[in-house]
Amino acid sequence: MIRAETLEGGIRLVVIDRPEKRNALTRDMARTLRDRVAEAGGERQVRGLVITGEGAAFSTGVDVSEFATGNPDSARALIEMLKDLCAQIRNLPKPVAVAVRGHCLGAALEVAVAADFRVCSPDAQFGMPEVAVGLPSVIDAALLMQYIGLGRAKEMLLTGEPISAEQALAWGLVNRVVEPDSVVDAAVALVARVAGHHPSTVRAQKELIEDWLNEPLEESIENSIPFLVEAFREGVPQRAAREMLERRRKA
């Protein structure tokens, strides 16, 4: 139900493949998805990652059958699994995008906001409907405020109503809206653009962004300096600057 392939250019495509259930996630699927993300991070030939859903939906989130038979212990195990999945995505040292068609709800939206980029089709819908089944939205739903602001995040979390692709773009939740047949290609192109930079630079920038989300401003500024110094120790900016100067000389 989770399949993966490596595309040209070293971009790993991971597909949630349960279209008959609108790609609703079971605990086992979440575990497998987490493992596929971790594998992409550990394989040197993989330069970036795109996650999508098979068919008309990205994913409607956790399969409601997981809730219908749940108890406090099973609920904790499930949410810990989803937390680990989102953390793998956020902390992957390579660029990550989601390609969304149709519904992207609940845990699926948490996966999406954990990624670096979100590309969707005009029919996409984004929502956090947990409140309708007696649950608060948790884990990476906390990132919504960073993307769309407190007022809009409260509207999504407290009403449970989804927003359209047009709203999501206007609110800053998604990066691109493209035709349905182009969603995966557009996400791959965006990831490939980032993957064209030096891997250590991409890794450092992603680490810094994660720090900026979790640290006070002054600490974020101070803690960022060693990353720049380390880049010069590795010699990456020197080489890039020399190449740029050479291109200018020949122009």
| CATH number of the domain residue 81 falls in | 3.90.226.10
In tens, the pLDDT along 30-71 reads 999 999 999 999 999 999 999 999 999 999 999 988 888 888
pLDDT surpasses 90 at 251: no
In tens, the pLDDT along 70-117 reads 889 999 999 999 999 999 999 999 999 999 999 999 999 999 999 999
100-104-107-111 Cα dihedral, nearest 10 degrees: 20
Kindly give, in sequence order, each residue whose CB lies less than 8 Å from that of residue 52, ignoring residues fewer than 6 positions away.
Answer: 13, 14, 15, 16, 58, 98, 99, 100, 101, 183, 184, 187
In tens, the pLDDT along 9-27 reads 999 999 999 999 999 999 9
For residues 58 and 128, state if they share a domain.
yes
For residues 206 and 174, state if they share a domain.
no
Average per-residue pLDDT in the chain? Answer: 95
For residues 212 and 109, state if they share a domain.
no
**Domain end point (choices 169, 195, 221):** 195
For residues 75 and 182, state if they share a domain.
yes
For residues 16 and 140, state if they share a domain.
yes
Structure pTM?
0.93
| pLDDT value, residue 69 | 82
For residues 184 and 82, state if they share a domain.
yes
For residues 77 and 120, state if they share a domain.
yes
Domains in the chain, number: 2
**Structural domain of residue 26, as residue ranges?**
2-195
